[in-house]
Amino acid sequence: MGMKRTRRRFMTTLSLAGTAGLLRARPVSAAEGALETTKVRLFKTLGVCLAPQYVAEGLLRAEGFTDVEYVDSTTMNIAGAIATGEYDFGLDFVSDHIFALDRGSALTLLAGVHVGCYELFAREGIRSIVELKGKSVAVYTGYWPQYAVLALTAAQVGLDPNKDIAWIESSQPMALFLDGKTDAFLSAFPFSQELRARRFGHVLFSTAEDHPWSQYFCCMLGGNRDYVRKYPIATKRVIRAILKAADLCANEPALVARRIVDAGFAGRYDHALEALQEIHYDRWRDYDAEDSVRYYALRLRDVGLITSTPQKIIAERTDWRFFEELKRELKV
């Protein structure tokens, strides 16, 4: 489903914004009205999955934002931090957003951005998810989305994720896997690239390529509910900048890899480039954000991880108006 895009679709010139190289956006239509605020805050942490957020600074400034702040992330609960106002917007795995919404967080889901983040690596001898029964899996301490992905996968093949799998939490889960202390590890950038480079283990499934995960958004954009309500014009412009940045990631992975490494969002250029080429940043026009929320919410409810119905979450905690408008506006 990869799509060929041209640089002309992004704009005509390349500009620098701080340490990130970005493409300048077209002038915003006056019909949208003036920005209600010129300030926006996003979080920063290491990770290529979130590359559109990191290379959006120049695009945000072109949209009229004069105060664009990247706040150092001190938590793995990104959705919760957006809800409490630590950041105004941020990309996060869809299940993390849903988990926060189920608990009444002041968060609004606004758009789907890309497909694919996670890969499950297993030691030799384990050839399917079913064979994880009675085995151990290493996950990050306190990082709920990582557990959720594998729990849902296990449940789909008839395993009870609470009884059939031994979850080993650690601040360094890949090290446990490499040392042979666990049987599997749910990986993302840069660990997937490191494991492949070492030829260690093999991939049981990839959310970028394998069904059903590849049919739904992985990372989605959430906004602080108060910001979205108070500043609808600013909200639309933030979403537009992020989506244009996703196009940039899809069409210019080498450029983006160099920029995010130079800016300190990733460590190694070769690993960053590999990840950018594997993640499907070009599918935001084609996938249905609401369908992704419905799927994940239903599965999470089925395994008892949330109590809200998909209908309740969609009706009360999402706003797709801007996303749908921008799909039409930014159509090829």
Task: Answer yes or no: do 233 and 95 share one domain.
Answer: yes
Task: Answer yes or no: do 123 and 271 share one domain.
Answer: no
CATH number at residue 137: 3.40.190.10
Structure tokens at 247: 């196009």
**Is 45 among the domain residues?**
yes
Task: Answer yes or no: do 19 and 79 share one domain.
Answer: yes
Counting beta carbons within 10 angstroms of the beta carbon of residue 67, is it exposed (0 to 12), middle (13 to 18) or buried (19 or more)?
exposed
Task: Answer yes or no: do 236 and 159 share one domain.
Answer: no
Task: Answer yes or no: do 124 and 99 share one domain.
Answer: no
**Is 296 among the domain residues?**
no
Count the domains in the chain.
Answer: 2
> Alpha carbon of 68 to those of 56, 58, 99, 226: distances in Å?
10, 9, 28, 18
User: What span, in angstroms and rounded, lies between the C-alpha atoms of 131 and 217?
Assistant: 27
Angle between helices 144-156 and 289-302 (to 10 degrees): 80
Task: Answer yes or no: do 104 and 127 share one domain.
Answer: no
Domain that holds residue 59: 7-115+217-286+306-329
Task: Answer yes or no: do 196 and 136 share one domain.
Answer: yes
Q: What is the pLDDT of residues 198-213, one digit of tens each?
A: 889 999 888 888 888 8
Task: Answer yes or no: do 123 and 190 share one domain.
Answer: yes
Q: What is the mean pLDDT of residues 261-266?
A: 84
Which pLDDT value is given to residue 50? 87
Counting beta carbons within 10 angstroms of the beta carbon of residue 258, is it exposed (0 to 12), middle (13 to 18) or buried (19 or more)?
middle
Task: Answer yes or no: do 43 and 176 share one domain.
Answer: no
Question: pLDDT over 70 for what percent of the chain?
Answer: 89
pLDDT band at 166 (very low <50, low <70, confident <90, very high): very high
Q: What is the mean pLDDT of the chain?
A: 86
pTM attached to this predicted model: 0.86
**Strands 135-140 vs 165-170: parallel, antiparallel or unpaired:** parallel
**Is 298 among the domain residues?**
no
Task: Answer yes or no: do 106 and 142 share one domain.
Answer: no
Task: Answer yes or no: do 201 and 223 share one domain.
Answer: no
Q: What is the mean pLDDT of residues 182-198?
A: 86
Task: Answer yes or no: do 139 and 187 share one domain.
Answer: yes
Least confident of 4-18, 35-49, 248-262: 4-18
